[in-house]
């Protein structure tokens, strides 16, 4: 089994965590809250517009419909930001227990598990999150990262391509595809 270098693994974990936990305040004032519309626009947006739509989608996906559940999500994210992964997992677990149909709770807990190398629980949470929200490109990216970590390059590559099909300007997907392309597709002479 081929494992990503520790530095690359930490970069991937930091990227996933940052993408999941950095919903700017401006995104809370999004001009659209329809995820279907936002996803359609994201697929054809230019890079600058894609960044704005990405913030809007993350803001929409971060709303559970319950102030108490949103508070658990915030507390978990805050704990992750200060490096208290154990507390984050506790908050996210309470969130998934009380709001099992809220995909962002599962995605967030998966990122916390990934950060401390608990890949099995991370994959299980990502599977649950994607069953609830199959278009969550950050959850797909997280799954691709885990697949790549364990050397399943063809499936990781396909997952990264799925991310790119949903969010063509995702900042981390192009380097991932470039890194894996020669190993999956081979090289041309």
Q: Which token pair is 11?
A: 């970069």
Nearest to 160 by CA among 183, 141, 179: 141
In this prediction, residue 103 carries a pLDDT of: 98
Cβ atoms within 10 Å of 125's Cβ, excluding its own: 27
In total, the chain counts a number of residues equal to 189
In this prediction, residue 152 carries a pLDDT of: 96
Burial of 39 (0-12, 13-18, 19+ CB in 10 A): middle
| Cα distance between residue 117 and residue 110, in whole Å | 10
Q: Is 43 helix (H, G, I), strand (E, B) or coil?
A: helix
- Please, what are the domains in the chain? 6-184 (1.25.40.10)
In this prediction, residue 176 carries a pLDDT of: 96
Name the DSSP letter for residue 45.
-
Cβ atoms within 10 Å of 117's Cβ, excluding its own: 10
Cβ atoms within 10 Å of 40's Cβ, excluding its own: 12
In this prediction, residue 15 carries a pLDDT of: 53
Asked if residues 81 and 21 have their Cβ atoms less than 8 Å apart, the reply is yes
Which residue is listed with tokens 């809250």?
33
Q: Which token pair is 159?
A: 């997952």
In this prediction, residue 49 carries a pLDDT of: 96
What is the mean pLDDT of each successive set of 10 residues along the chain, which is 189 residues long?
45 51 42 89 95 96 96 98 97 98 98 96 98 97 96 97 97 95 80
In this prediction, residue 16 carries a pLDDT of: 54
In this prediction, residue 123 carries a pLDDT of: 97
Cα Rg of the chain (Å, integer): 16
In this prediction, residue 32 carries a pLDDT of: 78
């Amino acid at each position: 089994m081929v494992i990503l270098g520790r530095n690359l693994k930490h970069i991937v974990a930091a990227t996933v965590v940052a993408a999941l936990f950095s919903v700017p305040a401006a995104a809370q004032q999004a001009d659209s809250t329809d995820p279907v519309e936002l996803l359609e626009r994201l697929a054809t947006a230019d890079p600058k517009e894609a960044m704005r739509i990405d913030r809007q989608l993350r803001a929409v996906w971060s709303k559970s419909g319950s102030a108490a559940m949103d508070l658990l999500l915030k507390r978990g994210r805050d704990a992750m930001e200060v490096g208290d992964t154990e507390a984050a997992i506790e908050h996210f677990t309470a969130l998934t227990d009380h709001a099992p149909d809220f995909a962002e709770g599962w995605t967030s807990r998966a990122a916390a598990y990934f950060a401390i190398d608990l890949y099995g629980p991370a994959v299980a949470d990502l599977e649950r999150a994607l069953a609830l929200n199959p278009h969550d490109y950050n959850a797909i990216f997280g799954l691709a990262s885990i697949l790549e970590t364990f050397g399943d390059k063809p499936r990781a590559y396909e997952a990264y391509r799925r991310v790119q099909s949903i969010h063509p300007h995702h900042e981390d997907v192009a380097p991932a595809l470039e890194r894996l392309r020669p190993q999956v597709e081979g090289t041309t002479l």
